[in-house]
Structure 1
Amino acid sequence: MSHNSDVPSGPTVWDVFGLAWPMTLKAIMLHGTVVIDAYLVSALGETSLAAMGLAAAIAGFVLGAILAFSNAMQIRTAQAFGTGDAVFLKSALAAGMTVNLAVGAVGLALILVLGRPVIDAMAPNADVASLSVDYLAIFSLVILGEAVGQCLSSYFNGCGRTKLPLYSFCLSVPVNVATSIVLIYGYFGFPAFGVKGAAMGSAIAICVQVGFLVYSWVRVDGHLRRVVGWRQSSFGRSLRRHLAFSLPIAATFFSATFATQICTLIYARLSLNEFAAMTIIAPWIMVTGTIGMQWAQATGIIVAQLLGKKHPEAVLDQFLGRAWRGAFVAAAAVAIFLAAVCLSANLLYADLNVETRSMLIGFVPILLLLPFPKGSNAICGNTLRASGDTLHVMYIFIWSQWLFRVPATVLAVVYLDLSAFWVLSITLIEELIKFPAFHRRLFRGDWKRADIAV
């Protein structure tokens, strides 16, 4: 008879927490930086704010692509780190950096060719267009910096050193805020650059962040520069293998981004009060959602490392059970927090219309349920990705988004004229639709026997 004591001790919930909390804080700080930049520029008036928003929206597509491939790099690095093979680790880093720089370069080329025409077509007036072009020209340096910085951050996360990327943000965020204030308004003898000053502050901050990450890598893993050889006999083959692993993960993120943007545009067809309520609750769902998502990503990192080390299936089962229980605790905390935000609508949003506040309070039943299937699906998705089963995860996300969420949103808003409550419930229904597909695949158990040493 088998006893639990016979199972070798594996990672614990605290190991997941040790990886997840720095990643969560970093994600929250990243969202907070965007809010701070908008706040600083808002004092310049609507024209400057609109210019920054337009330029940031265009740059956001490139940054989103870099982030998508960096997420794949994080899992690949965890697999390499688990094997203990220095050649594999060097190959993962070199391939990931090449992909990120290529994505950044292609993105900048597209901005150079199409940026001005797109801005001219979308800007409400010539002043906004001119300021937006100036901002985007300087912000291009941020794109290049993020290509390097996100790759190194993902590398450190995959190796389990999640505090280093957090430290880089702790350095860069104050620099961004301080330099932006000085350069926007012209303090200490500097010219007042206006909205361009915000882009300059971001560029200076990313230089500080990348400098810290490069220094940390040289100090911790600089010996990889002297490692001879590549994982797949040549760098070209290693790069192709990395792309084959990364593309499904990147496609999943691209699909999610575009589906969300389209649904947001459709929400604009709601009544003013309903659209306002959806606009208010969406950022809260996004920010609090980083808690469950980073927990799931930390779980995926550890699973990839365990698979790389070829731990027994019993250890994998034991660890995943622990991580899952932790995910439900995180989901409960998120659900309670979101419900508290909605129930406090009369206090937090006292200046809004009574009908809008009533709608926010009405969202409570959905928000109490949403974090649980969402968190469980995220655990499944990141575990399957860690085993290399990236295509199946991509298929689940894409068909649930494009065959259900987007058409259902169009039907609910445009044709059936349903209330905001039912429109928001589509998000919950989508998670419930994905639930059996994810869990059936995971419980089949093939991921525990995956050979990631390829």
Structure 2
Amino acid sequence: MTDTHKKMTLWALAWPVFIEMFLQFLLGTADTFMVSRISDDAVAVVGISNQLFNAVTILFAAVAGGAGVLIAQRIGAQRNEDARKIGIMTVKASIVIGLGLSVLLYFGAARVAALLQLEVSLLPLAKTYIAIVGGGMVLTAVMSTLSTVIRSTGDTRTPMFVAIGMNVVHIILNYLLIYGTFGFPALGLEGAALSTVMSRLVASIVLIIVWAGAFSRRLEWSDWKLYDRPMFREVLRIGWPLGLNMASWFFSQLVIYAFVAKLGASALAARTYMNTLESFCFLLGFSVALAVQIQIAYLYGAGRKEEAYRSAYRATGSGLVIVLIGALLLYVLGESILSFFTQDAGILAIGLSLLGLNLILQPGKMVNMAMGNALIAIGDTRFVVYNGFFSMWIVAVGLSYVLGIQSGWGLIGIYTAMIADEYLRGLLVTVRWSSKKALNKSLTPPDAAQVAVHP
């Protein structure tokens, strides 16, 4: 078995991704915990603001997602120079998009905060947080795109090590800038925002250095002028439906967060704390789903379609076992963990009522992620977006409003709607993959059959 084949096995890809995502989860948890020492209002601002930031990153995430699929496919087909070109063009595009978003969020922070329908008392905090973290959005663009490109070459370990370093820097800066230790000013929520931007800057610099040598030929200054229109058009062909799907999900979640905000600050804070807890289960499943996407794209590029087909089911089965264990742990330990973040009796009561529903939610989310990523890996992104758009807005958003707001079920109704959405989407993508229709109709990369190499 060649070194490339060894790097492209499911678990070789998945465990570094899991550790990287887990460290990112810890970073978010550290933020939530440290900010909670300021006030629950500050936690609510961080929660809804981060939903916004996730939503606006879809532009460069779409390009990076399409590029990641094509890079893995080209490496599978042993077309390494094409993979290198795709990586370079993608990073350049993400820098341009990230700079545009940074300018918009920095200068439009007050207007954006008002659009989120926060309580009036939260607006000053939200404006400050959005201006600082949003102003550094170009760093988020660079960091996430570089990580995607590097992972798609089969190197999932380097982004993991970078994540470790970023966590250390972030927590230290949080401690210094939030609380004003060792003579630093006590900046509160503003300090948390500055810490986030600074740690991302450090991570971006390190990833740029690694990316320069990630392919068979190192990056050169002349490469910044590189542009291959047909190849970039292919990136966009896969990327735009993927981006539309991501946009649909993030904006639907933002609307749902707005529904939660209507329920009051306590419900919003409880949802933010629960989102932090649920992230543990999510990252377990997502690491498997992302790993199988890279693996299937690689196998598909090498012309090994039957192996690619079976890989989706193996990954789904493994992922279900993992997320169920994680959800059960949260169910058992949830009360102790929530009490660690807040002592507010109302927030605790709301959070505890949602732990059982999380046990139902996570398996549906796992199937949806794994099978959806399998379709994305072979370029069948249009089906994913059509399926997602319908379910997210009709089921997730529509039912959230009907059950959560109109019927008065509150967060219980909103969670019920999210469960229905995940299971419906998971069912539809599984049926699509099982039919093999997408696998057979997808365009096979040129010369893949001729260059396929078996271990």
TM over 0.5, shorter chain: yes
> 1:189 Cα shift?
5.5
Distance in 1, matches of 2:185 and 2:264, equals 44
Matched residue of 1:453: which SS?
coil
Please state whether the residue corresponding to 1:107 is helix, strand or coil: helix
Unaligned runs of 5+ in 2: 447-455
| Structure 1 residues 387 and 174: CA distance shift in structure 2, 3 A | same
The answer to whether the 8 A contact 1:70-1:154 is kept is: yes
What SS class does the counterpart of residue 427 from structure 1 fall into? helix
Partner in structure 2 of residue 75 of structure 1: 69
Q: In the superposition, relative to structure 1, how do residues 212 and 222 fare at CA in structure 2: closer, same or farther (>3 Å)? A: farther
Q: 1:51–1:132: 8 Å Cα contact kept in structure 2?
A: yes
Q: Which residue identity does 1:380 align to in structure 2?
A: M
Length-normalised TM-score, structure 1: 0.81
* 1:210 corresponds to: 204
Asked if 1:263 corresponds to 2:268, the answer is no
TM-score (norm 2): 0.81
**1:8-407 alignment to 2 at 5 Å?**
15-40=9-34, 59-119=53-113, 129=124, 138-139=132-133, 142-184=136-178, 195-221=189-215, 223-225=217-219, 235-268=228-261, 280-311=273-304, 313-341=305-333, 351=343, 353=345, 357=349, 360=352, 364=356, 366-407=357-398
8 Å Cα contact 1:273/1:356 also seen in 2: no
**Which letter maps to 1:179?**
L
- CA RMSD after TM alignment: 4.0
**Residue 14 to residue 27, structure 1, CA distance change in 2 (3 Å):** same
Tell me the secondary structure at the aligned position of residue 437 of structure 1.
helix
- Greater CA deviation, 36-45 or 290-299? 36-45
CA apart distance, 1:333: 1.5
**CA shift for structure 1 position 52:** 6.7
Unaligned runs of 5+ residues in structure 1 are 1-9
Partners of 1:355 and 1:318 in 2: CA distance: 44
Q: Structure 1 residues 13, 327: closer, same or farther in 2, change over 3 A?
A: farther
In 1, Cα distance between equivalents of 2:50 and 2:355: 30
- Return the alpha-carbon distance in structure 1 between the equivalents of residues 419 and 32 of structure 2: 30
SS of the aligned residue for 2:445 comes to coil
- Percentage identity across aligned positions? 20
Secondary structure of 1:22's counterpart equals: helix
Aligned to 1:80, what secondary structure does the other structure show? helix
Q: Aligned equivalents of 1:442 and 1:262: distance in 2?
A: 30
CA contact (8 A) 1:156 1:165 kept: yes
- Which structure would you say has the larger Rg? 1
* Partner Cα distance (1:127, 1:275) in 2: 12
| Aligned residues between the structures | 440
State the partner residue of 1:429: 420
Answer whether contact 1:86 1:227 (CA < 8 A) is retained: no
| In structure 1, C-alpha distance between the alignment counterparts of 2:400 and 2:112, rounded to whole Å | 27
Does the 8 Å CA contact 1:343/1:361 hold for their aligned counterparts?
no
Match of residue 6 from structure 1:
none
Q: Is the 8 A contact 1:20 1:298 kept in 2?
A: yes
CA contact (8 A) 1:300 1:382 kept: yes
Q: In the alignment, is the contact (CA less than 8 A) between 1:13 and 1:326 conserved in 2?
A: no
Q: Which residue in 2 is equivalent to 1:4?
A: none
